[in-house]
Amino acid sequence: MNNKLQKHLGVKELLAYYISSVVGAGILIIPGVAAQIAGPASLLAWVMLAVISAPVAITFAKMAILIPDSGGVPSFVERTFDPLLGKSMAILLTLTMIIGNPVMGLASAFYLRDLIGYEPYLIPWVGYGFMLLSITFNLVEIRMASKIQSFALYFLVIGLIILVLLALPKTDLKNMTPFFPQGLSSVGSAMVICFFSFLGWENVSSVSEEVKNPEDTFRKTIPWAIFCVGGLYILIAWVYLAAVPAGLRLDNPTVLVPILQTVFGNNIAMAGSLVAVILLILATNSWVLGASRQVYSLARNNVLPATLSSLTGCSGIPRNALLFLACGYGLVTLCISNAGWSEEWLIRLANSNFMLIYFGAFTAGLTIFKSKKMKACAWLAIFATVSFAPFFGWMILVSSCLMAICYAWLFYLSKRRRKAFS
């Protein structure tokens, strides 16, 4: 049975994977949600997060070079500290991806509804359809899929930049007043939501086994990735806040359509919804890819059933892991549709879980890194992560409890196995 991932990702493919992992759903819907929370002051949250993302991205890239493993971030903790703690974190990360990834499907469904119109109760199921589309895409050989992903992504990013340039003459500082409509504290609440947009720097760790010449490829890619991602977020947020009237911002959290309405009118705005859907699909493809590698890694390490670690095709596709994700996304969709789970609640839970995972990974980095420069980078990443904790409130307790449950379950299983072999 083939169970070894192949190396097919170069600089262009890795940059596309970075941008599509970190951009996508974030750039097309989160600025709208953040603006509803903090108004124009949400721009401060974007600037601060863009600055913070640099040490975070560099730390993850260096760790991926030193420990290339499809298990991603949790493998750093597993090899540095307690194996059970690392595996617990891997379960939490996989669960978080299963819960959080459908948010991108929902974003696609919102944009598609703007384009063709349908009843609101169908949004969760249309979103699930987009998740299945990305699972199907990931069943294609990764070499071909990465080339398709790269071409489409670069084309769309160039389109977004052109849109920003065309929208600049339409900006009006009057739309930025009052700057703090919900008070200064609302910036912190907006940062919690915006934090979701910068998730994805760690996602590349899950494909580090598939990167050609990791040290050279990451070194060339990471500066461009930081510049492109931070620049795009700040530019889109600025144009959205300065060009779109406050009343229009409150009606719908989608970002691209209101900007296009302001610049070109309703007809072109409808076409923009199609562009938004395509960009979101590209982002979802990257996150499904990362999630499938997490499931594959857990199965390879005997945490999940071994059948989920089987690979098919000449480049190694974790087909069973992808089918497992399809079932998981379906359960989440049922909860969204019937149990009243909202996208904001899903985002907050995913962010809180990721913050806990980030803290563990960066702490592991202090042990893994030998140079003072990289240790300082890890400390900056830890400080940036911990500074968010007060804004998550009780959700941090939920994440901690989930982590504790994962650890207790693995500890119980390990004791049973030791007894079986004694």
pLDDT in tens, 153-182: 677 677 778 877 888 888 888 888 888 887
Q: How far is CA 139 from the centre of its chain?
A: 20
CB of 285 closer than 8 Å to CB of 20: yes
Domain boundaries 11-413, corresponding CATH code: 1.20.1740.10
Q: Per-residue pLDDT for 5 more than 60?
A: no
Q: Which one-letter DSSP state was computed for residue 235? A: H
Tell me the three state secondary structure of residue 342. Answer: coil
Name the packing angle between helices 123-137 and 266-300 (round to 10°): 60
Got the DSSP string for 68-134?
Answer: --TT-HHHHHHHHS-HHHHHHHHHHHHHHHHHHTHHHHHHHHHHHHHHH---GGGHHHHHHHHHHHH
Beta carbons within 10 angstroms of residue 275's beta carbon: 18
Beta-bridge partners for 9: 211
Mean pLDDT, residues 52-70: 78
Half-sphere exposure of 416 (CA within 13 A, CB side): 6
Q: Is 266 exposed, middle or buried (0-12, 13-18, 19+ CB in 10 A)?
A: exposed
Instruction: Decide if pLDDT at 222 tops 60.
Output: yes
| pLDDT given for residue 396 in this prediction | 86
For 88-129, how does the pLDDT look when each residue is reduced to its tens digit (9 = 90+)? 888 998 999 898 889 889 888 887 887 788 888 899 999 999
Q: Which of 43, 56, 390, 55 is nearest to 190 (CA)?
A: 43
> Residue 9 has what DSSP assignment?
B
Distance CA 118, CA 154 (A): 30
Structure confidence at residue 1 (pLDDT): 44
- Report the predicted TM-score, pTM, of the whole model to 2 decimal places: 0.73
